[in-house]
Structure 1
């Protein structure tokens, strides 16, 4: 089969899972084309899905749902009744409406969703000083689930299969970006006084065009704090503030002790 994988990966975790899935698919004799839709010019305004036999969509979970730009992009698609599966990566918090939102948008875009999965990966805020959640994930157990997900996807792509996510109590509402204030404002990336080679990669690849390479600041009204600019900066001069207090509040309110996080498991939604 000729399979497309479209994924959004800001800090590399979703890409790691996508690469593993692609490796398994190719090992089974399939042809795979991967596309990271993180940068604005990487999200094609038109995709001819007739070029593929099936597709897989992979997104990180930001505040309980896919990134806003990923949702906006899915709305533009026409799957032409093609089968697809979907997966999510998250930093041990919660997926909340991620499955429902994505299932709704893909089915509205004329896809037949046949499978879904969720994978634990280190939190994107781990790039900040004082924040360490699900560090070391995905681990081998997570990759084993990713292998099973790839194999089950192939199986369901090749035969008729009914898969449903209950949307009876779900109403889709586009998410609005709100500027964070107080201690949460420490999550906004900026460039320090360190030497910068001005490669402009931060500005070019910002998914919402929020980062200004000249100013070394992000537009807080549209920034989604995905931490892509922090992750990809070759000079390592883009940082976020000290966020140990955010980490303590985050983990205390959600009961995310080290033991709880360690016991969290990736899984397939059949």
Structure 2
């Protein structure tokens, strides 16, 4: 049984069909990326899956449980947690407190949640430990992204959704985040990524889902997507390192 099964998902805004009959699945321990140009429906799909908007039709089944129409807290408790393209850290709170908030989804007391947050820091090496007492809003964009991922991990998800995790990063920072994504999978966490950096997508993904005007154009492995003439022409340009806009 797939960890996440999406069947005939639909969402309209007025007369605009943002997501049209989209179906695909994600197996456990996979990294799946969703790509497509602006207006393809990626963000709407992400918001549908994580409970921020309700679908007009279709099913979303997470680990055997239907979650379409559930609120974000319920989806989180079911095991699917997301980050955001725009930083959602609490800027005036410390890094440790930011991650502790995530752990409070599983623990009823601050002391236990704080211990959990500190254990999550170990996943990131020295980076977050070094900044634990600093206000999250003072960190670089890349480190704020790490804080968001750490806060999501503190919820102990089975599936984590990363919304353009390398937006605004330089090549070195992007490479570090790509390594982090693969490390998540190696730790037994399934990963769903929305990303414009196609070099990263091709490097980390087991499968790629391509959206076009809200519809599923293609899903396949990186070589299958790279070798598809329609996708290459519409989204990827002339090489796998291109960026879909």
Normalised to the residue count of structure 2, the TM-score between the two structures is: 0.29
Structure with max Cα Rg = 1
Normalised to the residue count of structure 1, the TM-score between the two structures is: 0.27
The structure carrying a bigger strand percent of its residues is 2
Q: Which structure is richer in relative contact order (CA contacts within 8 A, separation 6 or more)? A: 2
